[in-house]
A and B are shown apart, each in its own frame.
Chain A
Amino acid sequence: MSKQKHGHQTPAASHGTASHGTSPTGAHGAHGAAGDGHGAVAHGPTTGDFVTIFLVLGFLTVVEVFVPKTYAASYDQHIKMILLCTLAFGKAMLVALFFMHLKWESPWIRRIAMLPLYMGLAAIILMVETAWRNTLS
């Protein structure tokens, strides 16, 4: 892997920011822009961002609990499944992008993180195979 020197940093300014806690993960903010090698000031998440994400996750959890009760009838099962899967993947994305800082990571780290998504491909293959066997029988 090739490396380059990043010689136009602003350690003093960044240190001061971190100490005051305005940007809980300023270092991650730095990571995100690091991949492109430019020297512009990175815009990482703030404490307010994290609290907002936390509140959204809490709210979506409450919504999730009410979905099975609202769509309990057998004819509502598909709506229930779609709603719950959307909510779950939405919440998982929020955790990955913000709490795990993927939004500010380099493209290679993001690619590593996305590897388990290939399990979705396995799921599709299994479903197609099952459907094919059902047509045979």
Chain B
Amino acid sequence: MSSSASLAHGSPGAHGGSGAHGHDIEVDAHVGKATGGKVAMWLFIAQDGFSFGGLLLAYGMLRIFSHGDWPSTHLKPTDILGINLTAIATFILICSSLSMVFAVAASQAGRKSATAGWLLVTIIGGASFLGIQAFEYTHLVHEGLGFATSTWEGHPINNLFGSTFFVVTGFHGLHVLSGVIYLCCILAGTLKGKYTQGGTSASPVELVGLFWHFVDLVWILVFTFIYLL
């Protein structure tokens, strides 16, 4: 496939104008053809990035001050957390990012059934990730990891590890849940034909795509800093 086959300026899928109807497209000197919604979504993503950055920074500082007692002097996070299962969840999230890209493309090309299909695949990916996270939480709580008190197989461990683990991964899980609900709303609109009419009609699908990719991006960092390090 050649990249030279990509769209020229003013394509129907471009968001700032209505190329499908033959009008000129207004190009902003600062944000190009990005719609107001797209700029707003990027601003939201930026502030959300600060939230996750703050949480990860707090996790890192608490870990540094634990002087190796994280979660105990004899245990490392990799000994407690299920790395292989979480790696599968990570891969599922990456797969759902790819399906989201295809959903956006189908929407911009005006293909209703393809858009709905790829959105459904993305929703299934997100729901699977949440299912794995619920299974993991159940297992960890059963083994003794908690917010207020933490033990592992009966032995006390640093409670800060449990607290920060659940806060950071739980905050991300809420984002995934929000994303799945958001995707379901967009899927409903797609089935009604709202987002495959050309012009800027595909913009909402692109916006949910941006949010979904951000959720994927954050998980890549959370997986490394909390599970692998």
A41–B169 alpha-carbon span in the complex (Å)? 43
* A128 at the binding interface (Cβ < 8 Å): no
Identify B109's interface contact among A19, A58, A105, A106, CB under 8 A.
A19
Partner of A43, one of B3, B100, B102: B3
Q: Judge whether A3 and B26 touch: CB under 8 Å.
A: yes
Q: Contact at A109–B32, with CB atoms within 8 Å? A: yes
Residues of A within 8 A of B52 (CB): 116
Of B17-25, B125-133, B138-146, B181-189, the one contacting chain A is: B17-25
Q: Mark A31-66, 1 if CB is under 8 A from B, else 0.
A: 111110101011111111111001001100110110
Total interface residues on B, CB under 8 Å, equals 81
Most-contacted residue by chain B among A11, A23, A45, A48 (CB, 10 A): A11
Pairwise interchain contact A9-B50, C-beta atoms closer than 8 A? no
Compute the total of residue contacts between A and B using a CB distance below 8 Å: 271
Which of A31, A39, A51, A87 sits near B14, CB closer than 8 Å?
Answer: A31
Are B27 and A42 in contact, with the CB atoms below 8 A? no
Asked if B11 contacts A84 (CB within 8 A), the reply is no
- Tell me the minimal C-beta distance from A133 to chain B in angstroms: 11
CB distance from A62 to the nearest CB of B (A): 8
Chain A residues positioned under 8 Å from B56 (CB to CB): 119
Does B7 contact A26, Cβ atoms closer than 8 Å? yes
* A-contacting 9-mer, from B149-157, B160-168, B170-178, B213-221: B213-221
B108 within 8 A of A: yes
List A residues 64-119 near B (Cβ within 8 Å).
64-65, 67-68, 80-81, 84-85, 87-89, 91-92, 95-96, 99-100, 105-109, 112-113, 115-116, 118-119
Q: Which residues of B contact A47 (CB under 8 A)?
A: 1, 102, 105
| Cα distance A47–B6 in the bound complex, in angstroms | 10
The answer to whether A100 touches B26 (Cβ under 8 A) is: no
Alpha-carbon distance A43/B26, docked complex (angstroms): 20
**Which of B2, B12, B28 is within 8 Å of A11, CB to CB?**
B12
Determine whether B121 belongs to the interface, using a CB cutoff of 8 Å to chain A: no
